[in-house]
Amino acid sequence: MKLDAKIPEGDLSEKWSKHKFNVKLVNPANKRKYEVIVVGTGLAGASAAASLAELGYNVKAFCFQDSPRRAHSIAAQGGINASKNYQNDGDSVYRLFYDTIKGGDYRSREANVHRLAEVSGNIIDQCVAQGVPFARDYGGLLDNRSFGGAQVSRTFYARGQTGQQLLLGAYSALSRQVAAGKVKLYTRTEMMDVVIIDGKAQGIITRDLVTGKIESHSAHAVILASGGYGNVFFLSTNAMGSNASAAWRAHKKGALFANPCFTQIHPTCIPVHGTYQSKLTLMSESLRNDGRVWVPKKAGDKRKPNDIPENERDYYLERKYPSFGNLVPRDVASRNAKYVCDEGRGVGETGLAVYLDFSDAIKRDGEDTISAKYGNLFEMYEKITGENPYKVPMKIYPAVHYTMGGLWVDYNLMTSVPGLYALGEANFSDHGANRLGASALMQGLADGYFVVPYTIGDYLSQMPYEKVSNDHAEFQKAETEVRERLNKLLSVNGKKTVDQFHKELGLIIWDYCGMSRTAEGLKEAKEKVQKLREEYWTNLKTIGTQDELNITLEKAYRVADFMELGELMIDDALNRNESCGGHFREEYQTEEGEAKRDDENYSYVAAWEYKGENMQEELHKEELNFENVQLTQRSYK
C-alpha cells in the first residue's frame, strides 16, 4: 500500500485556496441526490452534519447518547484558539501554525496545520453568529486568555465551559437542519461496523441501544467523528461512554491507524483517590494563567501547604522554564510533575500530587476576579474533593486526556478507504506528538465547518446518484457478523466483569505505555495485554440478551476493541525509538530530561495496517517534509 497524503503543490500559504479551487464541485441542484452518514455529533460531527445539510446533501447523523448535545465535546473547559490577533500582541496565521508545529514536536504535516490556522478565525465568526456567548470585556468586545505553548493571548473562552457553548452552537445548527428535513437523527444508536463494497465505504451497521435492533444504512460516503480513545486507560478525563469502537471497526476494515502511541497526559487533573474511582476530572489548563505550580523543596515534607514558608517551596516550572513558566506545554508540565513526585516531593495522601496555588493571584486581583474567570472550576473542585481552593492550594496530578493518534487521513480528511472520512479527535491529523491546549476544539470545528464540506464534494462528484441498496449481500453479511460477535460476548459465561478487565488493561497501559516508556517495559506489557485478551474471551461475565437495553453488553463490546487497540499502542511505542512530545522513551532523553527526537530516522507518521486476527500489523511510513519550519530541539526555557 502506498500512502499518498495528497498535499497540494505550491506555497504553504496558498495550498488551501488553490486546492479549494481545484477540487471538483457538485452542482447545487445535484447535492440532494447524495446521502452522507455522519457518525458522532460532537463538535466535529455536528458541525459537519449541519454544514453538509446546509449545502443540500442529505445527512444521517448518529450518536450513542440520548441527544446530540451530550457528546463528550460538551465537557471541554478552557477555550478555543484562533489567530484573530484581537489583542494586538503579534499573533498571525503563521504564528499559530508555527506554535502548533513546534508544540507537536515536529510530528505533524505542515500543510494541514497551516490550513487549520487559516480557518481558525472563521470558526470564531461562525460561533458568535450562532449566539455562542464567549467572554467579553467591558467594551463589549471578545476577550482572550493564554494557553500553554504560546506567548500570545489567542484563546477565546466561555467561562470554564467553552466546549459546552460551542457544542450547543453546533447542536443548534444541526437541530435547524433536522427541522428542515435535511438531517435524520439517530440517537441512542451505535455504529457497529462500516460496510465496504467495491473498495468504497458505502454504509454502516447500527444497533439501537434501546431495542437492540440491528440495522443497515447505505450512503454515498461515511464520516467518522467518533472521538478519541483515551478510555483505553480506563481512568481518563474522557466521558464514561467515549470509546474507540467506530474507529477500530474501520481499522479492521482497512483504514490505517496512525501514531496510536501519541497520547496526551494532561498535567492538571484531580488526583486519583480510591480503587472505586470511575473517571478523572480535569482542571482546565487555563488555571495555569493564574495558578502557580509548586512542591516542597524537601522530600517527605508533610506540613500543610499554608504552613510551608515561601523559601521552602519549589516553583519548579518557573525555575526550570523562566520564559514560559507555568505555561509550558502539557507534555513538559506532566513529565516534570512526575519527576518531582518520583523524588518523593509529591504532596497529599498518596504523594502523587503537586500544588496549584492561587493565593498570589487572589492577592493581586481579588477573589471576585478569580471567581469570574474560574468560578465553576473551583466549585467543581470543591464538590469532588471537599476542599476550598480559594483557601488551600489545589492538588493536581497528570491524567490521560486526549489522543493525538487516530485514523490516518489524507489532506482531504479521507482515510485509506475511499469514501470513508475521519474528523475531530478520531483522526490523527494536526497535533503531531503533543496537542496544544485549546486546539482540539479548533480542529474539530475546522474539520466539520470548513474542511470536509469542500473536500467531500471532490469524492461525491465521482459517485453515481444511485446508492447501493441496504439489502446488498455485504450488508447482510456484516449484520450477521455483528450479531455473532454480540452472541459470543454473551456466551462466554466466565467470572470476571467487564470493568475488572477494563481496569486491568488500563493499569498495564498506564504503567508501561503512559507518561514514560522503555523498550523492555513495552515488551512485557505486550505479553500482559495478549494474556488479558485471551482471558477476556474465556472468563468474561455478561448477562441478558442482545435484544434489549443491555449496559453490560455495550461495555463488553467496547472493551473488547480497547484490548486490541491497546496492543497496537504498545507496538507503536516500541517501534518509535525516539522521544517526542507525549511519547517519552526513557532511553532517549537530553541531559536535562527533555524529549530527544531522532529526526533522521523517525520524522514520519506511523500508519498501521490490520492484517487479521492475532497477526502483527504492518507499518507504513508517511515521511514528513518540513519546507517552512526548521526542526530544532524544542525549548521553553
Enzyme catalytic residues:
330
Binding partner of 89, given another protein, ligand FAD, none, CB within 5-8 angstroms per partner class: none
Going residue by residue from 275 to 314, which x/- string records binding to ligand FAD, judged by CB under 6 A? Answer: -------x-x------------------------------
499 touches another protein by CB under 8 A: yes
Asked if 440 is part of the footprint of ligand FAD (rule: CB under 6 A), the reply reads: yes
CB of 167 to ligand FAD, least distance (A): 7
37 binds ligand FAD (CB under 6 A): no
Give the number of C-alpha atoms closer than 13 A to the C-alpha of residue 210, restricted to the C-beta side: 6
Backbone angles phi, psi at 609, to 5 degrees: -110, 130
**Of 158, 205, 409, 509, which one interacts with another protein (CB under 8 A)?**
158
**Alpha carbon distance 412, 452 (integer Å):** 7
Query: Which of 3, 26, 36, 39 lies at the binding interface for ligand FAD (CB under 6 A)?
Result: 39
Interface residue with another protein, options 9, 21, 88, 138 (CB under 8 A): 138
* Strand-strand pairing, 406-407 and 183-186: unpaired
d(CA 141, CA 603): 42
Interacting partner of 450 out of another protein, ligand FAD, none (Cβ under 5 to 8 A depending on kind):
another protein
Distance between CA atoms of 196 and 201, rounded to whole angstroms? Answer: 4
Which of 138, 23, 15, 144 has the alpha carbon at shortest distance from 453?
23
| SS3 category, 355 | strand
Contact region with ligand FAD (CB under 6 A), list: 77-85, 100-108, 352-360, 361-369: 77-85
- The nearer residue to ligand FAD, 284 or 579, going by C-beta atoms, is 284
Nearer to ligand FAD, 157 or 294 (CB): 157
Residue 613 makes CB contacts below 8 A (sequence gap 6+) with none
Considering the complex, what minimum distance in angstroms separates the CB of residue 96 from ligand FAD? Answer: 13
- Within residues 275-314, the interface with another protein by CB under 8 A covers 276-279, 281
Report the SS3 class of residue 353: coil
Contact between 64 and ligand FAD per CB under 6 A: yes
The CA distances from residue 500 to 70, 244, 495, in Å, are: 27, 19, 10
Q: Answer yes or no whether residue 246 interacts with ligand FAD by CB under 6 A.
A: yes
As measured in angstroms, the least distance from the Cβ of 46 to another protein is 11
As a whole number of angstroms, the distance between CA 619 and CA 316 comes to 39
- Kindly identify the residues of this chain, within the stretch 44-63, that bind another protein according to CB under 8 A: 47, 50-51, 54
CA-to-CA dists, residue 334 to 56, 250, 598, angstroms:
46, 32, 22
Query: What does DSSP assign to residue 285?
Result: G
Establish if 535 lies at the interface with another protein (CB under 8 A): no
Within 567-596, which residues bind ligand FAD (CB under 6 A)?
A: none
- Give CA separation, 565 vs 247, 430, 573, in Å: 10, 21, 12
448 grid coordinates:
466539520
8 A C-beta contact, residue 355 and residue 347: yes
Contact 180, 59 (CB under 8 A): no
> Of 508-567, which residues contact ligand FAD (CB under 6 A)?
none
Binding mask 171-200 for ligand FAD (x = CB under 6 A): -------------------xx---------
Contact 415, 257 (CB under 8 A): no
Q: Does 210 bind another protein (CB under 8 A)?
A: yes
Positions touching ligand FAD (CB under 6 A) are 39-45, 62-65, 71-73, 75-80, 162-163, 190-191, 225-228, 237-238, 242-243, 245-246, 282, 284, 401-402, 424-426, 438-441, 444
